[in-house]
Chains A and B, each alone.
Chain A
Amino acid sequence: NMAIRELKVCLLGDTGVGKSSIVCRFVQDHFDHNISPTIGASFLTKTVPFGQELHKYLIWDTAGQERFHSLAPMYYRGSAAAVVVYDITKLDSFQTLKKWVKELKEHGPEDIVVAIAGNKNDLGDIREVPMKEAKEFAESIAAIFIETSARNAVNVEELFQKISKQIPPLQNPDVESNESFKLTQQPPPSTRRCC
């Protein structure tokens, strides 16, 4: 029986670069040209096997809060990884990538795994961002780099596999690190016994 590890992943990047499409492709293996903001989706989940573990990704989409640059710090809390997406056909979206990375460094957890995804690589003929340049930038911040196409299902699973590889192994599964809990779950088991 494999241990399930929940990993929060948040997506960042300008509106229209294909964040929601990447999530939809990964979770659903589905692509829709007219994807709308995923209404009602707090986060989506997908579980993938990795080594001796199961990685259950809790994928948080921006819910449109990136559109006017109003993402809340709580969005980044507790993320194991962040996928910063740009559109290879939009130089602008690559330039603002740096802003997103900066924001992540400011608000995200210190040990967060960062992946940079150049999306829409099916549109190579109208490319504006050279792969080399993006790759060098990713290397300079020690981030994963990959070009994806949510439309053609290229490298989307690979993106998450790369993330899985970078996630540090579980250190001590027995140690309840923080004694913090979610309200939707059962109240935390107390050590006291009742009656």
Chain B
Amino acid sequence: MASEQLPSEFDVVILGTGLVESVVAAACSRVGQRVLHLDRRSYYAGKWASFTFNGLLSWIEEQSKITASEEHDWSSQLEDGEDLIGLTTGDVSQVTNLQVFNYTSEEEEQVPSLEEEAKEDEEEDEGGADQTPAGETQEEGAPSSESEVKEEINTPAQKSQPEKSKKRLTYAELLKEGRRFNIDLVSKLLYSRGALIDLLIKSNVSRYAEFKNVIRILTCRHGNIEQVPCSRSDVFSSKLLSVVEKRMLMRFLTSCLDRDTPLLYQDFAERPYLEFLQYQKLSENLQHFLIHSIAMTTPDTPTAAALAATQHFLKCLGRYGNTPFLFPLYGLGEIPQCFCRMCAVFGGIYCLRHSVHALVVDKCSSRCKAVIDSTGQRISCSHLVLEEGCFTQTAPPTRCVSRAVLITDGSVLPTEAEQQVSIVTIPSESPVRMVELCPSSMTCIPGTHLVHLTCQSVGSAFEDLSPVVNRMFRTPDSDHPEPRPEVLWCLYFNMPEGLESEGGELPPNVSVCLGPDGSLGHDGAIAQAELIFQKILPGEEFCPPGPAPEDILYQGEEPDASPAQPGEEPEASSSQPGEEPEASSSQPGEEPDTGTSNQGEEPEASSSHQGEAEASPTCKGEESETSPSQQGEEPDASSSPCTEDSDTCPNQLEDGTQG
């Protein structure tokens, strides 16, 4: 069914389906460019991908294979005055130091609950130490991950205690339920007022995804896991803070949001944040929260940078929830896919398992005229966008991120309440951030949590992160008195951060997208995508809103039922496909006339107006004009009188301090 040949002429050819590439694809397609989007892999999102458990095992195995670049001679495809630049067919920016540890049981067995087990563990503390799988790196090519994965660890506590026991997950069950996991390679969150959220909303791509609030910010201090107060009510109800501390914290944070904060810290701008906080006479308690959990930095971060981070944090509070962060259902890997769908919906053509072997460069202009794909087909393009790692001569990565992925049997801070997504900041030389995902985030199965740890690499991921894992969880190598969730399975690896400027002299119409960086948010990726888009199409709007499903009209029908504008910007209408002849003609489709469909007779003019479901077709325009403002919920939307949206709250915060 996929034996069809690709068309051979495009405006923009894009290689790789990571976040940056996918946003560029959507943006180009949206304004009428003919886009071909390829990925040599069998899955979307490249390094941004999320996998089922079984998919992750295949990925692990794949990483151990050295993908030799095949040599081909495509010179027969060249015309006069053209040159070839070869691309690698493998990935030169691979992950390294991959290690897998499997602590699931082979057979079903009953194990005592956390508390009991913890006690027993103290007694027979060496219980499982000798069974730790050797931490071999995959690079050395030696043992396949397969064999490591199969290695079995028996728990120290094997006597079945009838009381308070729960069923321990077996490896077979893990495999059987594997499709219900969505395990991200990259661990990031969405800042509620970050560039990605803004782009999702602006472009209407947000329609394709659902999100959960990150409910808790936790931190690890003196071996304890504590919840960081994250709203005024949290602060006031927090048992960790004294009344004086509460007032000081409130006063300090309020001042951070002040316009003339710079005056406040002038002398400290380049000095360590810790010194500034000490100067402000904030207690050690507060220093910890402010440095590690709110600014998410280190004590020696320059004060100006730390305060900027603090402001960002505070501004993001309350837009959707009581922390600044959101997480997409089914994992981060959904986001690039959503942008790819946007691209496809506007006519972009998608083909996975398809690579490009060479660029055809015009000797005169030194521009890239075409690419030669893995079937030897020549595909012409005016612009080419590549994922990183396409060139053999890429310099080795200068910075790496250390990652650990754990499947555990519970939360590090269990609550009575509903399942929660939490971020945990763990101070250390290279600060570790940990995101704990619950089953309702659709990333793991009931009875488990999926935990992502990330830090800047100092050594291998195992060296950097296993001490933290042993401190926070129960593994055969850990021994702490408190009850802690048990690690059932874990994976360590290092991932190179975006490789700067590779390939030296690239043709001017070729752009390279960097891979994910180590930061928590997505602003870097989105800024990069916008920059590349503007290089390709200077002056064009970046991702204007797509039409709402209710607003799509078939051309030629009901010419008077003029389409409603989904977006707020009036100029968006001219780029509305299908409704205006000149807009349609710029669409990549062959038959612009059938582009869209009429929803006129639909009773549900707007899902947000359920009470008025009987709206007549002619009302539609008006109806829909009101709904976008509900969708937009840009800051101004929050001015609606006293909603739960706490955008309006920070100003009132001083009241709290008086109370």
Taking beta carbons and an 8 Å cutoff, which residues of A are in contact with B?
4, 6, 14-15, 24, 27-28, 30, 32, 34-47, 54, 56, 58, 63-65, 67-70, 72-75, 77-78, 92, 96, 99, 106-107, 178-190, 192-195
A106's closest neighbor in chain B, by CB? B179
Q: Is the CB of B587 within 8 A of A39?
A: yes
**Segment among B461-469, B501-509, B588-596 that sits at the interface with chain A:** B588-596
Q: Is the CB of A36 within 8 A of B599?
A: no
- Report the bound CA distance from A195 to B318 in whole Å: 13
Residues of A contacting B589 with CB < 8 Å?
36-37, 39
Taking beta carbons and an 8 Å cutoff, which residues of B are in contact with A?
1-2, 4, 6, 44, 179, 197, 200-201, 204, 206-213, 231, 233, 319-322, 329-330, 334, 337-338, 340-342, 344-347, 349-352, 354, 418, 440, 546-547, 549-550, 552, 554, 557, 576-578, 587-599, 602-604, 607-608, 610, 613, 630-631, 633, 642-646, 648-649, 652
Known: A40-B546, A187-B320, A187-B645. A56 touches B206 (CB 8 A): no
B420's closest neighbor in chain A, by CB? A179
Max count, chain B CB within 10 A of own CB: residue among A56, A65, A96: A65
- Report the bound CA distance from A39 to B546 in whole Å: 10
Q: Is the CB of B554 within 8 A of A28?
A: yes
Q: Is the CB of A195 within 8 A of B549?
A: no
B345's closest neighbor in chain A, by CB? A63
- Report the bound CA distance from A119 to B341 in whole Å: 25
Taking A40-B546, A185-B631 as known contacts, 9 extra A-B pairs with beta carbons closer than 8 A to each other, sorted by chain A number, are A40-B552, A42-B342, A45-B599, A67-B4, A74-B337, A77-B330, A181-B210, A187-B321, A190-B644
Residues of A contacting B340 with CB < 8 Å?
65, 72
Q: Shortest distance in angstroms between B67's beta carbon and chain A's nearest beta carbon?
A: 21
Residues of B contacting A192 with CB < 8 Å?
231, 233, 322, 644, 646
Residues of A contacting B643 with CB < 8 Å?
194
Q: Which residue in A37, A70, A194 is a CB contact (below 8 Å) of B644?
A: A194
Q: Is the CB of B206 within 8 A of A182?
A: yes
A39's closest neighbor in chain B, by CB? B595
Q: Is the CB of B330 within 8 A of A74?
A: yes
Q: Which residue in B2, B212, B546 is a CB contact (below 8 Å) of A69?
A: B2
- Report the bound CA distance from A44 to B551 in whole Å: 9
Q: Which residue in B329, B344, B552, B595 is a CB contact (below 8 Å) of A44?
A: B552
Q: Is the CB of B345 within 8 A of A73?
A: no
- Report the bound CA distance from A68 to B375 in whole Å: 14
Residues of A contacting B197 with CB < 8 Å?
183
- Report the bound CA distance from A182 to B209 in whole Å: 7
- Report the bound CA distance from A58 to B607 in whole Å: 11
Q: Is the CB of B319 within 8 A of A187?
A: yes
Q: Is the CB of B633 within 8 A of A64?
A: no
Please provide the 9 A-B residue pairs with the shortest distance between their CB atoms, ordered closest to farther: A183-B206, A63-B344, A68-B351, A36-B591, A72-B337, A74-B337, A40-B577, A70-B350, A184-B631
Q: Is the CB of B207 within 8 A of A184?
A: yes
Q: Is the CB of B210 within 8 A of A182?
A: yes
Residues of A contacting B613 with CB < 8 Å?
4, 54
Residues of A contacting B6 with CB < 8 Å?
68
Q: Is the CB of B345 within 8 A of A40?
A: yes
Known: A42-B204, A64-B344, A74-B334. A4 touches B211 (CB 8 A): no
Residues of B contacting A195 with CB < 8 Å?
642, 648-649, 652
Residues of A contacting B630 with CB < 8 Å?
185-186
Q: Is the CB of A187 within 8 A of B179?
A: no
Subset of 18 A-B contacts with CB under 8 Å:
A28-B557, A28-B598, A32-B594, A34-B591, A39-B589, A42-B208, A45-B550, A68-B4, A68-B351, A78-B210, A181-B212, A184-B204, A188-B213, A190-B321, A190-B644, A190-B646, A192-B233, A194-B649
- Report the bound CA distance from A193 to B646 in whole Å: 9
- Report the bound CA distance from A154 to B344 in whole Å: 29
Q: Shortest distance in angstroms between A22's beta carbon and chain B's nearest beta carbon?
A: 13
Residues of B contacting A106 with CB < 8 Å?
179
- Report the bound CA distance from A113 to B6 in whole Å: 33
Q: Shortest distance in angstroms between B33's beta carbon and chain A's nearest beta carbon?
A: 13
Q: Is the CB of A40 within 8 A of B645?
A: no
Q: Which residue in A4, A37, A96 is a CB contact (below 8 Å) of B610?
A: A4
Residues of B contacting A179 with CB < 8 Å?
212-213, 418, 440
Q: Is the CB of A180 within 8 A of B649?
A: no
B200's closest neighbor in chain A, by CB? A183
Residues of B contacting A73 with CB < 8 Å?
44, 330, 337
Residues of A contacting B642 with CB < 8 Å?
194-195
Known: A30-B557, A185-B608, A187-B319. A44 touches B200 (CB 8 A): no
